[in-house]
């Protein structure tokens, strides 16, 4: 019993780190472009599929870690330019556009990849003893990669020109434009980054989840939960929320139905939306 | 001017304070606005004039202090409740219902006074409202634009529509926030005429930057600076007040302007 | 006057067509398509619930499937579990949908529109998962089948609802009644109040409208429409399943509404008809019709955001103006049907 709890809790923790990456992508899109991106779960799914294709074409798993975010970035930038920009990011219309995008992505994957879910073998097989249970090495590795990526992203935001531009536009668009920051270009690149983060998350997660054209459907609500509970615009909060929620869900799963776990997270999310819409975590609102 | 000059001020605040973070927008403001007179509130940008209006109409809640409307404590009331008590206002950035026709803008403003909005009767069935709408359209000179969506109107026409909405709602107290902002001289003239007409039956408080307008129609003037009253009194007293000149105008060119305004 | 004539002409032609369907369609195409049209009518009512909120009040709800689900399960469980006959089951479905809309609306309509959209999804997801977890009762994703009481007592006469023609007319009657109600509401003072809130909710509160109360009323009305469509769906298919409470269902209805034309009375019907017909025609040859749905959604949003009926109304206005000798005003946003 204790072993199950430990296992599920650790799985939850690690999954939370990966989701944090994806949720960060959603947060920058939502925070900067004001878009509720229904397709974001599918960005993650595309990442898993890209990883699968890289592996089957080249035989090398690690290529996927490069292919997924790069292609994701390009796709995201293109989508922003040809779909989002023409509608000037108009509120409700962009929800419909991202919903349409979600359908398109799912179908394209279904056509190219097929409708049957597949599993990918982890590049690092085996387990090591940890806290008294045998834990999969790849999961630990995935957690480390996710952590590194999270750290890298925050460094990017603080120290690179684009990162600073993103924060400036997020904070006050008009002033940023007045200061000469090319807002339109920032939007294009931001959407690309959002896609890239989700796709990278997908590549990392591929061996521990199934590669399936419907794989994004489950991830989407979870990302939104992390963003809302963590606080819109509060990037560290989003990370904390993702990890915490996933960890809690893991714990609850050990004693109850996974559905119950999901319902409790959703109820928590509703409570936050209604009572404290700025999120549970204080932090630097970027 | 309205006939009855009661001793009860139409609007009174006690130690009204509102802060935004570290900034004190309205600072311990205690003001009494007499009934039956046109009261202008002037002051440099950021003096707290619009914040004051927002507090009175319930869009903001004060950090401390109380607001009294004809003796009744309305502190903390919600905007639509305050509106129903008879306080109406226009906004600094002209704000109407862009997708509704000009006529419908007036129509819904009138209907909003009712206790309930009927759900199943056709809107056209309400003759009384229809008549009022026609009357008001004539008064503000927008009768031939009645069917046009309000969002397609020129800026000046939108401002007139706002004034029309103010008239048709038959307010007890009307707050006008920079009613002539952005208007051409001709449009300003029209607006001022309408405002003078309204002043005969409605209590008015006006925020204005245009000194011509202020000194032309105001009976009482209050000067706000940094959220507090700098000076208040009749137009002549204000025009001569040194502190007002300094805080508000502060430049020699404006002195001449003040002279002109005094003699207007 | 050309516009009026055109509108009346089209309305009459449309009505005549709809009444003639059970005889016209089998003669022209196939019996099967009568049930497709029945389905279109039911789903168009669901889309109308989205339309009422979004097109007329400015609230985008992505979770109407929740109230559809309550209507659907109200009927299914009413018949299967409580042994109710037709009308009581119908009533149960509608009342439970409206009750759920009231309870969730009390909380939801307080929020600004981004968070409103999100919380409507969250509420519908919560109940979706609840339905899935209560599998013995609800059948989860697999659903439950139930037998319909074969008779409907209406004004003394007894009808058998297993007859597809009678089914069609029943659905047509209910949907027409609901659309008529919607038409009355839209053109009433309440409807104008809705439009005012949609256009400028700040101004609306300043002229004395209780924005919260009006939004809540609209939300419950939309819950009614969704609940009726869910109930009809249950009767029509004698089937209820949790899948229909998932956010994808809500999302499709939003797409149908916007493509058809939000803020117009018949927009949802046109949009729903378009997509379901495409689905039926395409899916027999190619299984990836969702691709077309997605593409259409994006194309419409970029090139014709007012939707089909919206475009049509715009064209009618220009006709009107040309007749009256005036240029039509340029608008870029949604326009309510006059």
Q: Determine phi and psi for A280, rounding to 5 degrees.
A: -85, -20
Residues C251, A38: C-beta atoms closer than 8 Å: yes
Interface test with B, best of C57, C198, C203, C306 (most B CBs within 10 A): C203
Q: Which of B79, B91, B141, B133 is nearest to B109 (CA)?
A: B133
Closest chain C CA to residue B98: C199
Instruction: Report the neighbours of A using a cutoff of 3 or more CB pairs below 8 angstroms.
Output: C
* A40 located within any domain: yes
* A154 located within any domain: yes
Query: Domain tally for chain C?
Result: 1
pLDDT of residue C337: 39
B32 three-class SS: strand
The CATH number given to whatever domain includes residue C107 is 1.10.3470
Q: Are the C-beta atoms of residues A224 and C114 closer than 8 Å to each other?
A: no
Question: Would you tell me the crossing angle of helices B102-111 and C189-199 to the nearest 10 degrees?
Answer: 110
Report the mean per-residue pLDDT for chain B.
Answer: 84
Chain C residues with CB inside 8 Å of A104's CB? 290-291, 294-295, 298
Q: Determine phi and psi for B25, rounding to 5 degrees.
A: -85, -40
Closest chain C CA to residue A259: C129
Residues C208, B169: C-beta atoms closer than 8 Å: yes
CA distance C49 to C65: 10
| Residue B134 burial (CB count, 10 A) | 14
Q: CB distance from C304 to chain A under 8 Å?
A: no
* DSSP result, A52-92: HHHHHHHS-STHHHHHHHHHHHHHHHHHIIIIIGGGTT-HH
**A15-24, A26-35, A104-113, B96-105: range with lowest mean pLDDT:** A26-35
Sheet holding B38-42, edge to edge: B87-89, B173-177, B203-207, B38-42, B220-225, B228-233
B25 three-class SS: strand
C332 three-class SS: coil
Beta strand residue intervals within chain C, DSSP E: 144-145, 151-154, 157-160, 239-240
Residues A277, C298: C-beta atoms closer than 8 Å: no
Q: CB distance from A256 to chain C under 8 Å?
A: no
Chain C residues with CB inside 8 Å of B113's CB? 208
Residues C192, B123: C-beta atoms closer than 8 Å: yes
Residues B117, C211: C-beta atoms closer than 8 Å: no
* A254 located within any domain: no
> How far does CA C51 lie from the centroid of its chain?
7
pLDDT of residue C236: 83
CA distance C65 to C45: 12
**B69-78, B251-260, C43-52, C245-254: range with lowest mean pLDDT:** B251-260
Touching pair C, A by Cβ (3+ pairs < 8 Å): yes
- Pairing verdict, β C144-145 and B87-89: unpaired
CA distance B136 to B146: 11
Interface test with B, best of C180, C208, C221 (most B CBs within 10 A): C208
Q: State mean pLDDT over B151-157.
A: 87
Q: Are the C-beta atoms of residues B13 and B68 closer than 8 Å to each other?
A: yes
Q: CB distance from A273 to chain C under 8 Å?
A: yes
Residues C336, B99: C-beta atoms closer than 8 Å: yes
**A36-40, A95-99, A258-262: range with lowest mean pLDDT:** A258-262
Burial label for B81, CB within 10 Å (0-12, 13-18, 19+), is middle
Predicted ipTM of the assembly: 0.84
Residues B108, C214: C-beta atoms closer than 8 Å: no
DSSP state of C132: H
Q: Are the C-beta atoms of residues A197 and A24 closer than 8 Å to each other?
A: yes
Of these ranges, A89-93, B159-163, C27-31, C149-153, the one predicted with the greatest mean pLDDT is: B159-163
Residues B149, C335: C-beta atoms closer than 8 Å: yes
* A65 located within any domain: yes
Of C187, C192, C208, the CB nearest to B80: C208
More confident residue, B3 or A187: A187
Q: CB distance from C297 to chain A under 8 Å?
A: yes
Q: Are the C-beta atoms of residues B41 and B230 closer than 8 Å to each other?
A: no
More confident residue, A165 or B206: B206
Interface test with B, best of C206, C221, C335 (most B CBs within 10 A): C206
Residues C198, B99: C-beta atoms closer than 8 Å: yes
Touching pair B, A by Cβ (3+ pairs < 8 Å): no
**What range defines the domain where residue A186 resides?**
2-215
CA distance A224 to A248: 16
Chain C residues with CB inside 8 Å of A97's CB? 297-298, 301-302
Question: Which residues, in sequence order, are CB contacts of B63 under 8 Å at separation 6+?
Answer: B17, B18, B19
Closest chain B CA to residue C199: B97
pLDDT of residue B249: 57
Could you tell me how many residues make up chain A?
286
**Token reading at A170:** 């997020």
Q: Render each residue's pLDDT in chain C as its tens digit; 338 residues.
A: 677 788 788 888 888 888 887 777 777 777 788 888 999 999 999 999 999 999 999 999 999 999 999 999 999 888 888 888 888 889 999 999 999 999 999 999 988 888 898 899 999 999 999 988 888 877 777 778 777 765 666 665 666 667 778 888 889 999 999 999 999 999 999 999 999 999 998 999 999 899 999 999 999 999 999 999 999 999 887 788 888 999 889 999 999 999 999 999 999 999 999 999 988 888 888 878 888 888 988 999 899 888 899 888 888 888 777 766 655 454 433 434 34
Q: Are the C-beta atoms of residues B258 and B245 closer than 8 Å to each other?
A: yes
Q: Which of C247, C309, C263, C272 is nearest to C37 (CA)?
A: C272
Residues C133, A103: C-beta atoms closer than 8 Å: no
More confident residue, C219 or B219: C219
Q: Determine phi and psi for C154, rounding to 5 degrees.
A: -130, 110
Q: Which of C35, C179, C159, C36 is nearest to C86 (CA)?
A: C159
- Pairing verdict, β B23-29 and B173-177: unpaired
More confident residue, B214 or C149: B214
CA of C89 vs chain A CAs: smallest distance (Å): 28
pLDDT of residue C304: 87
Q: CB distance from C288 to chain B under 8 Å?
A: no
More confident residue, B256 or A130: A130
Question: Would you tell me the crossing angle of helices A258-275 and C113-133 to the nearest 10 degrees?
Answer: 160
Structural Rg of chain A based on CA atoms: 18
Question: Which residues, in sequence order, are CB contacts of B253 under 8 Å at separation 6+?
Answer: none
Q: CB distance from C278 to chain A under 8 Å?
A: no
pLDDT of residue C152: 65
pLDDT in tens, A185-196: 888 999 999 999
**What range defines the domain where residue C320 resides?**
2-334
Chain A residues with CB inside 8 Å of C62's CB? 95
| Residue B258 burial (CB count, 10 A) | 19
CB–CB contacts below 8 A, A to C: 111
Query: Domain tally for chain A?
Result: 1
In which band, very low, low, confident or very high, does the pLDDT at A283 lie, cut at 50, 70 and 90?
low
In which band, very low, low, confident or very high, does the pLDDT at B248 lie, cut at 50, 70 and 90?
low
pLDDT of residue C40: 94
CA of C278 vs chain B CAs: smallest distance (Å): 33
Burial per residue of B55-78, b for 16 or more beta-carbon CB atoms within 10 angstroms, e otherwise: bbbbbbebeebebbbbeeebbebe
Q: Backbone dihedral region of C210: left (phi > 0), alpha (psi from -120 to 50 degrees) or beta?
A: beta
Of C203, C208, C329, the CB nearest to B148: C329
Q: Are the C-beta atoms of residues C100 and C70 closer than 8 Å to each other?
A: yes
CA distance A231 to A277: 7
Q: CB distance from C203 to chain B under 8 Å?
A: yes
Closest chain A CA to residue C105: A274
Please determine, for residue A33, whether its predicted confidence score (pLDDT) is greater than 80: yes
Residues B89, C195: C-beta atoms closer than 8 Å: no
Residues B100, C336: C-beta atoms closer than 8 Å: yes
Chain A residues with CB inside 8 Å of C115's CB? 228, 273, 277
């Amino acid at each position: 019993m204790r072993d199950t709890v430990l296992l599920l809790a650790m799985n939850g923790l690690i999954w939370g780190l990966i989701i944090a990456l994806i949720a960060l992508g959603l947060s920058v899109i939502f925070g900067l472009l004001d878009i509720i991106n229904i397709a974001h779960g599918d960005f993650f799914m595309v990442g898993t599929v890209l990883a699968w294709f890289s592996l089957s074409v080249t035989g090398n798993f690690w290529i996927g870690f490069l292919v997924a975010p790069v292609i994701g970035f390009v796709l995201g930038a293109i989508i922003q330019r040809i779909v989002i920009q023409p509608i000037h990011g108009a509120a409700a219309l962009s929800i419909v556009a991202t919903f349409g995008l979600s359908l398109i992505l799912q179908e394209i994957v279904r056509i190219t990849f097929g409708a049957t879910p597949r599993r990918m073998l982890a590049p690092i097989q085996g387990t090591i003893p940890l806290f008294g249970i045998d834990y999969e090495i790849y999961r630990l590795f995935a957690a480390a990669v996710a952590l590194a990526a999270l750290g890298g992203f925050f460094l990017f935001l603080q120290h690179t020109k684009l990162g600073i531009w993103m924060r400036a536009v997020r904070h006050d668009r008009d002033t940023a434009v007045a200061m000469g920051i090319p807002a339109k270009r920032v939007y294009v690149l931001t959407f690309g980054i959002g896609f890239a983060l989700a796709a990278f998350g997908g590549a990392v997660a591929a061996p521990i989840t199934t590669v399936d054209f419907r794989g994004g459907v489950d991830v989407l609500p979870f990302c939104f939960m992390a963003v809302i509970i963590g606080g819109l615009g509060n990037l560290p909060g989003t990370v904390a929320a993702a990890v915490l929620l996933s960890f809690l869900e893991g714990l609850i799963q050990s004693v109850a139905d996974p559905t119950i776990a999901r319902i409790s997270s959703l109820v928590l999310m509703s409570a936050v939306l209604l009572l404290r819409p700025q999120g549970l975590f204080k932090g630097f609102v970027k | 001017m309205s006939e009855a000059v009661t001793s009860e001020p139409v609007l009174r605040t006690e130690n009204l304070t509102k802060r935004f973070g570290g900034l004190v927008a309205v600072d311990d403001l205690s003001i009494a606005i007499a009934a039956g007179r046109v009261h202008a509130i002037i002051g440099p940008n950021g003096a707290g004039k619009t914040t004051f209006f927002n507090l009175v109409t319930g869009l903001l809640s004060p950090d401390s202090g109380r607001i009294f409307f004809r003796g009744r404590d309305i502190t903390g009331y919600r905007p639509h409740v305050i509106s129903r008590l008879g306080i109406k206002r226009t906004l600094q950035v002209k704000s109407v219902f862009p997708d509704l026709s000009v006529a419908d803008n007036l129509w819904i403003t009138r209907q909003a006074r009712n206790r309930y909005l009927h759900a199943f009767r056709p809107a056209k069935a309400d003759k009384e409202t229809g008549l009022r709408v026609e009357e008001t359209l004539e008064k503000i000179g927008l009768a031939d634009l009645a069917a046009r969506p309000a969002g397609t109107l020129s800026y000046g026409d939108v401002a007139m529509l706002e004034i029309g909405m103010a008239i048709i709602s038959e307010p007890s107290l009307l707050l006008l926030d920079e009613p002539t902002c952005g208007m051409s001289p001709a449009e300003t003239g029209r607006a001022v005429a309408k405002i003078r007409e309204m002043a005969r039956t409605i209590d008015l408080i006006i925020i204005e930057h245009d000194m011509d307008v202020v000194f032309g129609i105001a009976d009482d003037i209050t000067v706000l600076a940094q959220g507090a009253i700098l000076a208040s009194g009749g137009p002549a007293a204000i025009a001569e007040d040194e502190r007002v000149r300094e805080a508000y105008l502060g430049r020699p060119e404006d002195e001449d302007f003040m002279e002109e305004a005094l003699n207007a | 006057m050309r516009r009026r004539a055109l509108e009346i002409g089209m309305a009459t032609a449309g009505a005549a067509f709809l009444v003639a369907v059970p005889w016209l369609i089998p003669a022209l195409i196939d019996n099967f398509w009568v049930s497709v049209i029945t389905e279109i009518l039911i789903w168009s009512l669901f889309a109308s619930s989205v339309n009422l909120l979004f097109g007329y009040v400015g609230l985008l709800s992505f979770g109407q499937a929740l109230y559809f689900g309550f209507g659907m399960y109200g009927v299914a469980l009413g018949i299967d579990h409580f042994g109710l006959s037709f009308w009581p089951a119908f009533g149960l479905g509608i009342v439970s949908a409206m009750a759920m809309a009231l309870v969730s609306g009390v909380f939801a309509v307080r929020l600004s529109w981004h968070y409103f959209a999100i919380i409507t999804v969250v509420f519908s997801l919560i109940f979706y998962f609840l339905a899935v977890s209560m599998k013995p009762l609800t059948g989860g994703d697999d659903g439950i089948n139930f037998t319909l009481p074969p008779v409907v007592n209406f004004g003394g006469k007894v009808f058998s609802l297993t007859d597809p023609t009678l089914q069609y007319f029943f659905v047509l009657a209910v949907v027409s009644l609901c659309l008529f109600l919607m038409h009355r509401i839209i053109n009433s003072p309440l409807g104008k109040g809705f439009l005012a809130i949609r256009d400028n909710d700040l101004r609306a509160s300043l002229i004395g409208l209780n924005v919260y109360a009006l939004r809540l009323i609209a939300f419950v009305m939309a819950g009614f429409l969704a609940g009726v469509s869910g109930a009809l769906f249950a009767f029509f298919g004698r089937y209820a399943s949790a899948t229909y409470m998932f956010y994808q269902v809500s999302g499709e209805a939003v797409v149908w509404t916007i493509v058809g034309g939000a803020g117009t009375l018949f927009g949802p019907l046109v949009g729903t008809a378009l997509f379901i017909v495409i689905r039926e025609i395409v899916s027999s040859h190619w299984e990836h019709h969702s691709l077309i749905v997605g593409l259409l959604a994006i194309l419409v949003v970029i090139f014709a955001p007012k939707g089909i009926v919206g475009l049509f109304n715009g064209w009618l206005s220009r006709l009107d103006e040309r007749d009256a000798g005036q240029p039509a005003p340029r608008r870029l946003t949604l326009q309510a049907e006059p």
